[in-house]
Amino acid sequence: MACIEARGLRKHYGATVALDGVDLKVEEGRILGLIGPNGAGKTTALKAMLGLTAYDGQLRVLGRDPWIERHRLMHEVCFIADVAVLPRWMRVWQALDYVAGVHPRFDRAKAEGFLARTTIKHGSRIRELSKGMVTQLHLALVMAIDAKLLVLDEPTLGLDILFRKQFYDSLLNDYFDHSRTILVTTHQVEEIEHVLTDLMFIDRGRIVLGCSMEDFESRYTEVTVLPQQLAAARAFRPIYEREVLGRTILLFDGVDRGQLATLGDARTPGIADLFVAVMNLQPGRTQGAAP
Site pattern 153..192 for another protein (x: CB under 8 A): ------------------------xxx-------------
Report DSSP letters for 119-131, one per residue: ---TT-BGGGS-H
Residue closer to another protein by CB (options 59, 74) is: 74
Nearest approach, Cβ of 33 to another protein (angstroms)?
Answer: 18
Q: How far, rounded to the nearest angstrom, does the alpha carbon of residue 42 sit from its chain's CA centroid?
A: 9
Tell whether residue 104 is a contact of another protein (CB under 8 A). Answer: yes
277/238 Cα distance (integer angstroms): 10
Tell whether residue 121 is a contact of another protein (CB under 8 A). Answer: no
Nearest approach, Cβ of 128 to another protein (angstroms)?
Answer: 15
Residue closer to another protein by CB (options 103, 164) is: 103
Tell whether residue 65 is a contact of another protein (CB under 8 A). Answer: no
| 14-20, long-range: CB < 8 A, 24+ apart | 17/204, 17/205, 18/44, 18/205, 19/44, 19/45, 19/48, 19/55, 19/205, 20/204, 20/205, 20/206
By CB under 8 A, name the one of 11, 42, 103, 164 that touches another protein: 103
Residue closer to another protein by CB (options 4, 86) is: 86
Nearest approach, Cβ of 35 to another protein (angstroms)?
Answer: 22
Tell whether residue 28 is a contact of another protein (CB under 8 A). Answer: yes
Footprint of another protein on 136-155 (CB under 8 A): 146
Which segment (78-86, 214-222, 252-260, 283-291) binds another protein by CB under 8 A? Answer: 78-86
Q: How far, rounded to the nearest angstrom, does the alpha carbon of residue 104 sit from its chain's CA centroid?
A: 27
Nearest approach, Cβ of 156 to another protein (angstroms)?
Answer: 17
- Strand runs (DSSP E) across the chain, as ranges? 4-13, 16-26, 31-35, 56-61, 77-80, 149-153, 181-185, 198-203, 206-212, 220-225, 240-244, 247-253, 265-267
CA 197, 147, 171, 178 dihedral sign is negative
Nearest to 159 by CA among 130, 179, 182: 130
Q: How far is CA 249 from CA 7, 129, 282, in A?
A: 37, 45, 20
By CB under 8 A, name the one of 84, 172, 289, 290 that touches another protein: 84
Nearest approach, Cβ of 81 to another protein (angstroms)?
Answer: 4
Residues lying near another protein in the complex (CB under 8 A) are found at: 28-29, 47, 50-54, 67, 70-72, 74-75, 78-82, 84-91, 94, 97-99, 101-105, 146, 177-179
